[in-house]
């Protein structure tokens, strides 16, 4: 690129320079100018024609130079733009473009030199043609010196024109300093590009190392998950095996279902085990012994001696031993009071000549002996009767315990049977992360499995909904719509007294799964079946937690009515009454949005007939031209029924009736006032709380917020001394 230092910056032809060169040339050659040779008309005309031809050729050369100059300027402008664009491009791209531009400039320079050589060849050919024209003209006589002069002038013009053409072709606006700047920038960009390339290589190596670490950790995590899965499966299999062994043992002890024939069909009937048989034998023995004791007591009462003959003797004996008699006999009171036995008294009386005590007659002795024997037998029979009553009470408690064990046994038998019949009993993994372990329970169209979330490392409850293949598509769509509606309501609820909903996903075309929070314990309904009733303090704790959850449901926007509050939907977290409870099953919930709910009138009950009738208020059973109006006071009524059932062990309305009977006899519509049994004893504050919840008219019934602010739920001392206020009254 140093050759550009000799480039001329001016591209215009200087006529003065041509004349000086001509003078220099002619003076150096010293060519004589003969005037007589130029004075002839023919030679003048020929010279004029040649000059005209030379002018035309010069004009053509200038045109070609102008075209080449314009092409070179365009190419130079493009090169400059490319060099300018390298500032905003990537260093590697800028370097490539700069190299490409230098390459094009080099090619263009060689092309200009080649075109210059080609132009000289064309000028030489034109000169030869002009010489042939002059030599072939017979009438024109041109002097040899004139021809030499024309050749010299022609060569001078051609030389200058070709030189000017070369200067124009290789001309550029880039000077040496600009080129050095470009070289410096290119070198800096090259250095920066190399540095960036090295950094990129280092980052690539780090990325590869991190990828290897991640792959190694993922492989290790997969192995850990596989080990965890296998351990959980082994534990589940051991638990299943132990549960089946217990059931086999309890079948003999507690009983089992036996298939028996009734007419033309076979039914399964329950047959109690040997534990109940032995207990019944003990109860029968106790009853038989109690009957024998009652018979003996009746016979003994017939032999009861009369007290008429014994009273005077007792009086005489008392008088004979009195101090006055002792004084009459001459004995001091000290002697009589300290005196020894009766024989000594008799002896002393005899020696003093006092009244003589006659010995008892044999008849009286026998009578006295019978009397003592009677009292002895009577006391023995009383003690035996008390012992039998105690034993009978113990046997009754043992029978109740066996009944609870039998209920658990029946529940476990049904669970094992349903688990064996389930198609999800093979410890499969759902949704690539939920490992199914054991079946917890089965409803109408759903199964609840205990599962383990391999991703979150926690136990969950997977509720698998299975659609009947024989259903019509419309019924399937309604079921799925109902389940998705429950999911949309439940997934937004976050409260410690409400079961969390984690996930919903599809298993296949006829089944899908909802993932819920797992609670290790039974529901309140099962606990009440086992223990009949609950002490007031524990029942009050359960009601407090339920009301707290209802308050949350009414504070969120839009508020929600649960509509299906019952003991079966209240889970005991630790399986007993001392822990926390959680509310579940929002399948019948109602959303009190602005479009459907009015604070003054409530909202329409669109699902009349659904729900559990024992726990629904009277307004849900009203039949008319328009649907009944409901509000959150539906849940308040349910709270009152649950509290009553916890305290007294039975439902306040329709206890032993079926849902069909309740509907036919309009039991709830007639439940205008609640009645409280005398046993067990309950505080008046608890009764007032229940009455507030079970008001017949919904206008008179308290709402959720008023219920939460009642003193009965706030004062912690209430319910501790169960029955204290009742006892005082």
707: left (phi over 0), alpha (psi -120 to 50) or beta: alpha
Buried-state track 332-341, b at ≥16 Cβ within 10 A, e below 16: eeeebeeeee
3-state secondary structure 587-639: CCCEECCCCCCECCCEEECCCCCCCCHHHCCHHHHCCCCCCCEECCHHHHHHH
The whole-angstrom separation of Cα 140 and Cα 131 is 12
The whole-angstrom separation of Cα 443 and Cα 370 is 72
The candidate with the shortest Cα–Cα distance to 543, out of 669, 685, 659, is 685
DSSP 473-521: HHHHHHHHHHHHHHHHHHTT---TTB--EEEEEEEETTEEEEEEE---S
Sequence length of the chain is 729
304 vs 313, 316, 386, 675, CA distance in Å?
Answer: 18, 23, 21, 49
The whole-angstrom separation of Cα 464 and Cα 593 is 30
CA-angle at 662, arms to 661 and 668, nearest 5°: 160
The whole-angstrom separation of Cα 456 and Cα 478 is 32
* 463 annotated as ligand-binding: yes
For residue 437, the surrounding DSSP H or E stretch is strand 434-442
Compute the CA torsion angle 285, 288, 294, 298 (nearest 10 deg). Answer: -140
The whole-angstrom separation of Cα 618 and Cα 691 is 15
Token pair listed for 374: 């009677």
543 vs 335, 548, 549, CA distance in Å?
Answer: 77, 8, 10
The candidate with the shortest Cα–Cα distance to 670, out of 686, 682, 683, 657, is 657
Q: Do residues 271 and 256 lie in contact, with contact meaning Cβ atoms separated by under 8 Å?
A: yes
Catalytic-role residue among 564, 595, 604, 700: 564
The whole-angstrom separation of Cα 466 and Cα 509 is 10
Task: Tell me the torsion sign for CA atoms 567, 570, 575, 581.
Answer: negative
647: buried, middle or exposed (CB in 10 Å: 19+, 13-18, 0-12)? Answer: buried
Question: The tokens 């009440």 sit on which residue?
Answer: 528
Token pair listed for 80: 């400059």
Verify whether residue 564 is a known catalytic residue. yes
DSSP 141-172: ---HHHHHHHHHHHHHHHHHHHHHHHHHHT--
End-to-end CA distance of the chain: 120
Tell me, rounded to whole angstroms, the distance of Cα 14 from its chain centroid: 92
The whole-angstrom separation of Cα 186 and Cα 402 is 96
Nearby residues of 311 by Cβ (< 8 Å), 6 or more positions away: none
The candidate with the shortest Cα–Cα distance to 371, out of 306, 299, 313, is 306
How do 590-591 and 581-583 pair as beta strands? unpaired
Q: Do residues 683 and 727 lie in contact, with contact meaning Cβ atoms separated by under 8 Å?
A: no
Pick out the residues of the known binding site for ATP: 463
Q: Which residues are catalytic?
A: 564
């Amino acid at each position: 690129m140093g050759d550009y230092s000799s480039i001329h910056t001016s591209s215009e032809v200087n006529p003065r320079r041509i004349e000086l060169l001509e003078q220099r040339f002619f003076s150096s050659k010293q060519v004589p100018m003969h005037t007589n040779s130029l004075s002839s008309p023919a030679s003048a005309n020929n010279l004029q024609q040649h000059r005209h031809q030379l002018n035309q050729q010069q004009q053509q050369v200038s045109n070609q130079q102008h075209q080449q100059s314009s092409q070179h300027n365009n190419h130079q402008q493009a090169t400059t733009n490319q060099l300018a664009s390298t500032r905003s491009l990537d260093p590697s791209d800028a370097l490539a473009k700069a190299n490409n531009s230098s390459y094009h400039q080099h090619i263009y320079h060689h092309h200009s030199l080649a075109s210059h050589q080609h132009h000289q060849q064309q000028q030489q050919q034109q000169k030869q043609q002009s010489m042939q024209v002059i030599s072939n003209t017979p009438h024109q006589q041109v002097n040899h010196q004139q021809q030499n002069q024309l050749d010299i002038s022609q060569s001078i013009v051609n030389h200058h024109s070709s030189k000017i053409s070369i200067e124009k072709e290789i001309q550029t606006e880039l000077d040496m300093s600009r080129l050095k700047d470009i070289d410096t920038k290119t070198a800096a960009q090259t250095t920066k590009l190399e540095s960036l390339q090295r950094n990129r290589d280092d980052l690539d190596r780090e990325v590869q190392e991190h990828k290897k670490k991640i792959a190694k950790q993922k492989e290790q995590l997969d192995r850990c998950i596989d080990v965890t899965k296998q351990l959980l499966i082994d534990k589940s299999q051991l638990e299943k095996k132990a549960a089946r062994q217990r059931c086999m043992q309890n079948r003999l002890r507690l009983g089992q279902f036996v298939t028996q024939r009734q007419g033309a069909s076979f039914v399964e009937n329950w047959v109690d085990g040997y534990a109940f048989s032995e207990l019944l034998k003990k109860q029968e023995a106790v009853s038989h012994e109690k009957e024998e004791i009652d018979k003996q007591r009746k016979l003994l009462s017939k032999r009861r001696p009369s007290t008429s003959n014994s009273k005077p003797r007792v009086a005489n004996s008392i008088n004979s031993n009195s101090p006055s008699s002792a004084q009459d006999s001459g004995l001091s009171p000290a002697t009589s009071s300290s005196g020894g036995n009766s024989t000594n008294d008799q002896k002393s009386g005899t020696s003093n000549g006092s009244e003589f005590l006659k010995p008892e007659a044999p008849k009286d002795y026998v009578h006295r002996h019978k009397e003592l024997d009677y009292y002895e037998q009577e006391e023995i029979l009383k003690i035996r009767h008390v012992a039998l009553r105690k034993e009978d009470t113990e046997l009754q408690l043992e029978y109740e315990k066996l009944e609870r064990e039998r209920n658990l046994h029946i529940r476990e038998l049904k669970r094992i049977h349903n688990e064996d019949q389930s198609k999800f009993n093979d410890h499969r993994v759902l949704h690539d992360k939920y490992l199914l372990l054991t079946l917890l329970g089965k409803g109408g169209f759903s199964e609840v499995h205990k599962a383990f979330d391999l991703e979150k490392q926690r136990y969950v409850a997977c509720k698998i909904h299975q659609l009947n293949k024989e259903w019509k598509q419309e019924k399937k769509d309604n079921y799925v719509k109902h389940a998705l509606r429950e999911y949309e309501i439940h997934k937004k609820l976050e409260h410690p007294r409400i079961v969390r909903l984690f996930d919903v996903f599809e298993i296949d075309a006829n089944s899908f799964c909802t993932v819920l929070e797992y609670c290790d314990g039974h529901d309140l309904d099962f606990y009440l079946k086992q223990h009949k009733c609950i002490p007031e303090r524990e029942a009050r704790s359960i009601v407090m937690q339920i009301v707290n959850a209802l308050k949350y449901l009414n504070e969120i926007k839009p508020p929600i009515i649960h509509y299906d509050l019952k003991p079966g939907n209240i889970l005991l977290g630790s399986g007993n009454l001392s822990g926390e409870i959680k509310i579940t099953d929002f399948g019948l919930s109602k959303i009190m949005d602005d479009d459907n709910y009015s604070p003054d009138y409530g909202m329409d009950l669109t699902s009349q007939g659904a729900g559990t009738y024992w726990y629904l208020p009277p307004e849900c059973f009203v039949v008319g031209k328009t649907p009944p109006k409901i509000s959150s006071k539906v849940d308040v009524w349910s709270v009152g029924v649950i509290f009553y059932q916890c305290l007294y062990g039975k439902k306040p309305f329709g206890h032993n009736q079926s849902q069909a009977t309740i509907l036919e006899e309009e039991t709830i519509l007639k439940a205008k006032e609640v009645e409280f049994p005398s046993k067990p004893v309950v505080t008046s504050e608890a009764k007032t709380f229940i009455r507030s919840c079970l008001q017949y008219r919904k206008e008179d019934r308290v709402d959720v917020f008023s219920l939460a602010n009642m003193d009965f739920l706030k004062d912690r001392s209430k319910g501790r001394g169960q029955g204290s206020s009742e006892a005082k009254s």
